[in-house]
Structure 1
Amino acid sequence: MSSPLVPTRRRTLLGAAAFAVLVVLLLLWAKWAPYTARVGELVGSRAWSGSSVVAAAGITPGSGPSLTAGWEFTKVYALAVWKALVAGLVVAAAVQTLLPRRWLLSLLRRRRDTSSALVGGLLSTPSMMCTCCTAPVANALRRSGAPTAGVVAYWLGNPLLNPAVLVFLALVAPWPWAATRLVVGLLVVVAGSALVARVAGGRVPAEAAEQVQDAHDGGPRRFLPVLARTAAWLVPEYLVVVLLVGTFAGWLFPLGESARSWGVLAVLVAVVLGTLLVVPTAGEVPLAQGLATAGFGPAVVGALLIALPAVSLPSAVMVVGALGRRVVGWTVLVVAAGAVVAAGLLSVL
């Protein structure tokens, strides 16, 4: 008589295999193939082609609110990230329905928050998503019971430790830019995420905790319902907040040429408002290059290399239900502190 554990073990292995194949195919389509082609282009040209998302939407730094500008910003941004957003939503559903929960927790639950953050950061490097597109996966990890340090590190590690962006910076910018991004990025992702877990607490918010078990009941049969529910919940919220950010982008990014004389104030503006503005993957590169060309010092550039990609107002809104306000708030503060460190480091390199 066969053991009842055999079908369960078989389903577990099949689910894990389906998860791995799905993730590889999605990342190959949305990230790995496009970035490989982009690296090939940059090796030949050594110059970044294309403008920033702010410039492409026709927004002038310091300009007043405009719904037309907000709509243009939303269109430009959506065209840049739609593949990654689709991949993020599908991977999030797969985490909750295909990946064995005990495997996930055994990987991310460590005795020390620093170890959990290190694992989360390492897991983030292959997916290479922007902060908003990785938000659905961070939500799924948290609702699966993953610890705060590991989830925050995965959320921040996607944009900050993105190996493709590090290569982009090495090819088109002075070497201290890539060095600053790597060193401060590691500090924020590992030490910063562990600090967030320590000071903000590790409990799953009540509304997220209620879904932990439910999200993993039914296995593959629940994949499409979970995907539909996640998309219906996050996508409209995401687009509305991006539209609002685009509408006020002139105020959120007021660093025009006149701001060159602001000194330390320009750095503080870059730190604070860089955490609010949303950019696609590598969107910080043309923005930072444009400011450097306009005469801004390395401190402003260094701050933006961390603050712009790491978090944004839309991504914070997307994860607050799963992570909680305290965790998100402390994460933003940690990113801001990292941006200050990057401003100082790039200034001395």
Structure 2
Amino acid sequence: MTTRQEVNPVFGWMTFLLIAIAGLFYVKWFPYYNRAFVAAETHSIGQSILMGKASGPPAPSLDAALGYAFAYGKAIWQAMVLGLLLGSAVQALIPPNWVARVLGRTGFGSVAAGGLLSIPGMMCTCCAAPVVVGLRERQASPGAAIAFWLGNTVLNPAALVFMGFVLGWNWTGLRLLLGVLMVFGLGYLANRLASPQEIAAAEAQLAAFKETEPDTGPFLRWMQILWRMTLRLVPEYIVLILLLGAARAWLFPQIGPEIDNSLFWIVAFAVAGMIFVIPTAGEVPIIQAMLSLGMGVGPAGALLMTLPPISAPSLAMLARSFRPVTLALVTVCVVGFGVAAGLLAVWLKF
């Protein structure tokens, strides 16, 4: 007779928190703390990963794809490993009903909790995606998971500080104002899309899940989930990074004064920013470089709100975790926030 091996809740929590705190300290908190002093002193946090010192990205080619994939991978690989570890640990080490109890309701409370829990993470959109997958597997509501996903990038306190020292505190204020509306507003809208039938089905699935918890030990289950998540998420992620690296010149043309504050360019850069993928706070040197080349503040404002929160790779990674209509809503609204930011930057004479 097989004895069911349940993880001790205290031991599971201690292990999860140790991974989260130690991992975030090593990958995010300590490096960003040091970089804040560099930003304050030099008013820069490095070159634009999009195009370096050039006035535009390289022409589409295999070299362009590999070059961007290497630079991007070097910047985010540690955070991606941490995201996979946390996304699988959420499912194996934390009591099954905890996530559903805190983040599973469809009211604004779960959305607020998801958004607030995201702030210490400070991950890029793709590195946060595995954690979102884990939360959804544990029956977090769509709105809470969306708020957690978007909050990691848009409400990233380190990025806000870098932005203030490098671009100016008016840009930080614009990002914070629209970011709060984006994170909590889109989370609330995502929950409103859930029908009563879907809510009832989610509750039934949670009950069935608790009754059929696997007999394997928690740490073996953790490794199994980690392996499955890695095989499912990483290959498509790598392919899309390569494609976007090669297509940079199509998404972002030669930058100069001709990229002005017209509505056409604001919308175009809002869409391009939504599609493209960058590491954490990568939007700051990208916008700094483009402004120095004479680009208008309108397209820069659009990139401020669309480069960080979502991308084609992160949308693909979460395609099985949300209904298509939910991801479509997020995509359209993120572009809308980008257009609004661009128009506000022009109107406020940034």
- TM-score of the aligned structures, taking structure 1 as reference length: 0.89
> Where do residues 18-57 of structure 1 align in structure 2 (5 Å cutoff)?
18-45=15-42, 47-56=43-52
The alpha-carbon deviation at position 285 of structure 1 amounts to 0.4
> Where do residues 84-99 of structure 1 align in structure 2 (5 Å cutoff)?
84-99=79-94
Aligned to 1:264: 263
Cα distance between partner residues in 2 of 1:132 and 1:289:
23
8 Å contact 1:57–1:69 — kept in the other structure?
no
- Give the counterpart letter for 1:180 in structure 2: L
Percent identity over paired residues? 35
Secondary structure at the counterpart of residue 23 of structure 2: helix
Deviations 1:168-216 (A, max 9, x none): 111222211000110100000001221133236584999xx79x93996
> Where do residues 157-236 of structure 1 align in structure 2 (5 Å cutoff)?
157-199=151-193, 203=198, 213=209, 217=214, 218=216, 219-236=218-235
Cα distance between partner residues in 2 of 1:335 and 1:200:
20
8 Å contact 2:106–2:143 — kept in the other structure?
no
Q: How many residues align?
A: 338
The alpha-carbon deviation at position 294 of structure 1 amounts to 1.9
Aligned to 1:4: none
The alpha-carbon deviation at position 258 of structure 1 amounts to 6.0
My pick for the range that moved more, 291-300 or 174-183, is 291-300
The alpha-carbon deviation at position 334 of structure 1 amounts to 1.4
Ranges in structure 2 where 5+ consecutive residues have no aligned partner: none
Instruction: Assess, with a 3 A threshold, how the Cα gap between structure 1 residues 249 and 59 changes in structure 2: closer, same or farther.
Output: farther
My pick for the range that moved more, 185-194 or 253-262, is 253-262
- Give the counterpart letter for 1:120 in structure 2: G
Aligned to 1:67: 62
Secondary structure at the counterpart of residue 346 of structure 2: helix
The alpha-carbon deviation at position 64 of structure 1 amounts to 4.4
Whether 1:251 and 2:250 are equivalent positions in the alignment is: yes
Higher helix share: 1
Instruction: Assess, with a 3 A threshold, how the Cα gap between structure 1 residues 286 and 216 changes in structure 2: closer, same or farther.
Output: farther
Deviations 1:119-165 (A, max 9, x none): 11100000100001001011111111110000011111100000110
The alpha-carbon deviation at position 59 of structure 1 amounts to 9.1
Secondary structure at the counterpart of residue 310 of structure 1: coil
Whether 1:108 and 2:103 are equivalent positions in the alignment is: yes
My pick for the range that moved more, 284-293 or 72-81, is 284-293
Aligned to 2:315: 316
Cα distance between partner residues in 2 of 1:174 and 1:329:
32
The alpha-carbon deviation at position 269 of structure 1 amounts to 0.7
8 Å contact 1:197–1:327 — kept in the other structure?
no
Secondary structure at the counterpart of residue 254 of structure 1: coil
8 Å contact 1:139–1:323 — kept in the other structure?
no
Aligned-residue CA RMSD in angstroms? 2.7
Cα distance between partner residues in 2 of 1:346 and 1:57:
24
Of 112, 125, 135, which residue of structure 1 is paired with 2:119? 125
8 Å contact 1:135–1:315 — kept in the other structure?
yes
Aligned to 2:142: 148
8 Å contact 1:93–1:223 — kept in the other structure?
yes
- Give the counterpart letter for 1:281 in structure 2: T
Secondary structure at the counterpart of residue 133 of structure 1: helix
Cα distance between partner residues in 2 of 1:216 and 1:96:
11
Secondary structure at the counterpart of residue 55 of structure 1: coil
Ranges in structure 1 where 5+ consecutive residues have no aligned partner: 1-6
Aligned to 2:289: 290
Instruction: Assess, with a 3 A threshold, how the Cα gap between structure 1 residues 192 and 111 changes in structure 2: closer, same or farther.
Output: closer
My pick for the range that moved more, 317-326 or 249-258, is 249-258
8 Å contact 1:271–1:307 — kept in the other structure?
yes
- Give the counterpart letter for 2:46 in structure 1: G
Cα distance between partner residues in 2 of 1:235 and 1:137:
14
- Give the counterpart letter for 1:53 in structure 2: I
Secondary structure at the counterpart of residue 179 of structure 2: helix
Cα distance between partner residues in 1 of 2:19 and 2:88:
11
- Give the counterpart letter for 2:333 in structure 1: V
Deviations 1:93-126 (A, max 9, x none): 11010111212121113351x3222111100000
- TM-score of the aligned structures, taking structure 2 as reference length: 0.89
Secondary structure at the counterpart of residue 8 of structure 2: helix
My pick for the range that moved more, 216-225 or 319-328, is 216-225
